[in-house]
């Protein structure tokens, strides 16, 4: 939480309510719990990732790629 400023880490969003920890590489696809694979996100962006409306890849916190397909 501290690393991401206690707010959503998606560029342009700084929501501080309804925060979730997201695995950039999903656990089911081999992703682990290391900090570089975890990202703090608001529940709206987290839901967008899991419905395919937002794609996040890379390593947190500095090498992220964020796209809205």
CB-side neighbour CA atoms (13 Å) of 64: 22
Alpha carbons 60 and 55: distance in angstroms, whole number:
14
Q: What tokens were used for 18? A: 């309804």
Pick the closest to residue 4 from 32, 39, 36 (CA basis): 39
pTM for the full predicted model:
0.87
For residue 45, what pLDDT is reported?
Answer: 97
Quick: pLDDT tens for 41-59.
999 999 999 999 999 999 9
CB-based contact 39:4 (threshold 8 Å)? yes
User: Which of 31, 38, 32, 33 shows the shortest CA–CA distance to 3?
Assistant: 38
- With bands split at pLDDT 50, 70 and 90, how would you rate the model's confidence at 64? very high
């Amino acid at each position: 939480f501290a690393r991401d400023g206690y707010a959503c880490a998606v560029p342009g969003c700084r929501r501080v309510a309804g925060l979730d920890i997201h695995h950039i590489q999903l656990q089911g696809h081999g992703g682990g719990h290391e900090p570089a694979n975890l990202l703090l996100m608001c529940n709206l962006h987290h839901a967008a990732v899991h419905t395919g409306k937002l794609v996040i890849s890379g390593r947190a916190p500095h090498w992220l790629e964020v796209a809205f397909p």
